[in-house]
Amino acid sequence: MLFDALPDSVSIYEVSPRDGLQNEAVTVPTTRKLRLIEALAQAGLTRIEATSFVSPKWVPQLADADEVAGLLPRVPDVTFSALCPNAKGLERALTTKIPEIAVFISASETHNRKNVNNTVEGTLAAFGEVIAPAVKAGLRVRGYVSTLWGCPYEGEIDPRAGLRIAHRLVEMGCYQISLGDTIGVGTPKQTRDILRLFMSEFSIPQIAMHMHDTRGTALANVVVGLELGIRTFDASVGGLGGCPYAPGAAGNVATEDLVFMLDGMGVKTGVDLEKLWTAGQVAKAVVGRDLPGKVHKAGVRSLRH
Amino acid sequence: MLFDALPDSVSIYEVSPRDGLQNEAVTVPTTRKLRLIEALAQAGLTRIEATSFVSPKWVPQLADADEVAGLLPRVPDVTFSALCPNAKGLERALTTKIPEIAVFISASETHNRKNVNNTVEGTLAAFGEVIAPAVKAGLRVRGYVSTLWGCPYEGEIDPRAGLRIAHRLVEMGCYQISLGDTIGVGTPKQTRDILRLFMSEFSIPQIAMHMHDTRGTALANVVVGLELGIRTFDASVGGLGGCPYAPGAAGNVATEDLVFMLDGMGVKTGVDLEKLWTAGQVAKAVVGRDLPGKVHKAGVRSLRH
């Protein structure tokens, strides 16, 4: 049975310019961000979250969101998106040509409070001023539901709490919900159970997996998703971003590792691994530190002769 | 179907004192090796490859094999083993109380030549002076078949070449064959195919998986093995050992990452993850460098509150 019904292709949603850079200690100059984004697009990535229209007070690393959005390269078939936490963010997004925004909420009440200084219910209410107006303005809206595999404050999270939030987001107009293992504690059997729960109430295109590799289990969890039919995976080149709860530890699954595995399984991504590796080297230069991605460290050329 | 027939427990074969330390640039003093071995046993590991009776000329890092073997702690239920490449190695092993030895051969002709300076056929012939005499002397003998998922010199390897070698090893007396992804290029569908091939001709207890995490796919491949019924997995605490073909890259899958995943899946290992994490810190101190293991870096205490 195993892998007999793999999809021909899957969709990779690249988060490094936003989710990666917002977790870096350094603030990267705008031109360098654009160089990274350009390299990602050249590698064949077609969905790139470029920045976040969040208050510079909260995320100074992305204070240049308007400038980045205005200078995005025009590449055929590439959809850029940006995080929009509130109505003010949407207002800024609407002055740009970005065709897609994303909203972010936690399945954990405590994590949500610490992250956005609001209750889950309060955050959902505030999304009323973001999601529907964005859809009305012709934007697509994607929702993140984080800490579904576990919370750094509350520990285990009932995935049904995340399911209820996801329903609210979809009702408000989100076309896809990205299920997040925000602290990288997920294991494969748990992943099976969480995905089955969401798949029982949503369609495959509505579900994405956003896995962190903090304990080395990201690709093992992705394999479970593949086997169950999931076709959208978030990733960050080089594993850019790290884990805010464990300094020095890995965060987002590295896009190179994901593409390497999918290539080996015959699942198309549209991404050229050599060029992606080059984009990872750009990312490393841009942040000026070693990145945790495995293929990023091991290299591509030695892979396949 | 997925994970509905997981084994209650699996067996972990710890390779860090041999496979890990032999790939380190530094030669670790004997007392420190014994301290690592003691920490591994205290964590609950019951199969530990402690050293190698190889010529000090080839592997100076393990030149103290006789001394290490003579000073091994006596811990109930722990089986220590040692690599024995030839008759001379066996002779040395037989002067110790080590109850198990291992032999090592590549599925790739070129890798085998570069690794042991002999053809595959010549290596098998030389094993005639090791395996049967060892079994006759009351030792258990384990066989490694390496580069099954790919070779740094030849690229793709026909797994049937490895299968023929495995049959020879079993005929000579090996109780178990450890299938090695020596350079960490394996992907899950390939793993499924390789395991199915070996499972069609060998029993489950005869098969072990020895996966490297060089491209981040080790646990994804282990999950495939678990789903297919494999119950023995090699690992190295902290990911000790690195990859000799890619400096700075990861090698052996980290025992902590493996145990973390298995704990999360409800599969017993007998290993206490907290104590194992401590053994990983000992390993780090012993070699004096950062190790690549993910749980090793992220910590255990933050995992489960």
ipTM: 0.96
What is the chain B residue with the closest CA to A153? B305
Phi then psi for residue A72, to 5 deg, are -60, 140
pLDDT given at position B130: 98
Q: Which residues of A34-69 are buried (b: 16+ CB within 10 A; e: fewer)?
A: bbbbebbbbbbbbbbbbbbbbeeeebebbbbbeebb
Residues 156-185 of A with CB under 8 A from B: 183-185
Q: End-to-end alpha-carbon separation of chain B, Å?
A: 31
- Asked if the model's pLDDT at residue B299 lies above 50, the reply is yes
Question: Could B227 and A2 be called an inter-chain contact, meaning their C-beta atoms sit closer than 8 Å?
Answer: yes
Which residues of chain A have a CB within 8 Å of the CB of B298?
184, 214-215, 243, 246, 249-250
pLDDT tens digits, one per residue of A113-125: 999 999 999 999 9
B152 touches chain A (CB under 8 A): yes
Across the range B108-124, mean pLDDT stands at 96
pLDDT tens digits, one per residue of A213-250: 999 999 999 999 999 999 999 999 999 987 777 777 88
DSSP bridge pairs for A81: A49, A100
pLDDT tens digits, one per residue of A206-215: 999 999 999 9
What is the chain B residue with the closest CA to A154? B305
A305 touches chain B (CB under 8 A): yes
The pair of three-digit structure tokens given for residue B150, joined into one six-digit string: 């790919």
Average pLDDT of chain A, as a whole number = 95
CA-closest candidate to residue B181, choices B164, B194, B170: B194
Fold topology of B11-304 = TIM Barrel (3.20.20)
Which residues of chain A have a CB within 8 Å of the CB of B189?
3, 6, 264-266
pLDDT tens digits, one per residue of A140-195: 999 999 999 999 999 999 999 999 999 999 999 999 999 999 999 999 999 999 99
Which residues of chain A have a CB within 8 Å of the CB of B183?
302
Which residues of chain B have a CB within 8 Å of the CB of A220?
219-220, 222-223, 261
Spatial distance between the Cα atoms of B203 and B218, rounded to a whole number of angstroms: 22
Q: Which residues of B171-182 are buried (b: 16+ CB within 10 A; e: fewer)?
A: ebbbebbbbbbb
SS3 A180: strand
A199 touches chain B (CB under 8 A): no
Name A289's Cβ contacts closer than 8 Å, sequence gap at least 6. Answer: none
The pair of three-digit structure tokens given for residue B98, joined into one six-digit string: 């080590």
> In Å, how far are A1, A210, A259 from A268, measured between CA atoms?
20, 19, 9
The nearest CA of chain A is from the CA of B297 a distance in Å of: 6
User: Testing the interface with A: which of B151, B193, B219 to mutate, by most A Cβ within 10 A?
Assistant: B219
Q: Which residues of A176-211 are buried (b: 16+ CB within 10 A; e: fewer)?
A: bbbbbbbbbbbbbbbbbebbebbbeebeeebbbbbb
pLDDT given at position A302: 53
pLDDT given at position B302: 54
Which residues of chain B have a CB within 8 Å of the CB of A301?
none
pLDDT given at position A242: 76
pLDDT given at position B301: 63
Q: Does residue B243 carry a catalytic annotation?
A: yes
Question: Could B2 and A295 be called an inter-chain contact, meaning their C-beta atoms sit closer than 8 Å?
Answer: no
In what helix (H) or strand (E) does residue A181 lie, and over which residues does it extend?
Answer: strand A176-181
pLDDT tens digits, one per residue of B193-226: 999 999 999 999 999 999 999 999 999 999 999 9
Spatial distance between the Cα atoms of A48 and A80, rounded to a whole number of angstroms: 5
Residue B136, Cβ density class (10 Å: 0-12 exposed, 13-18 middle, ≥19 buried): exposed
pLDDT tens digits, one per residue of B226-272: 999 999 999 999 999 877 777 778 899 999 999 999 999 999 999 99
- Asked if the model's pLDDT at residue A304 lies above 50, the reply is no
pLDDT tens digits, one per residue of B56-89: 999 999 999 999 999 999 998 999 999 999 999 9
In what helix (H) or strand (E) does residue A12 lie, and over which residues does it extend?
Answer: strand A11-14
Across the range B144-163, mean pLDDT stands at 96
- Asked if the model's pLDDT at residue A305 lies above 50, the reply is no
Across the range A11-25, mean pLDDT stands at 95
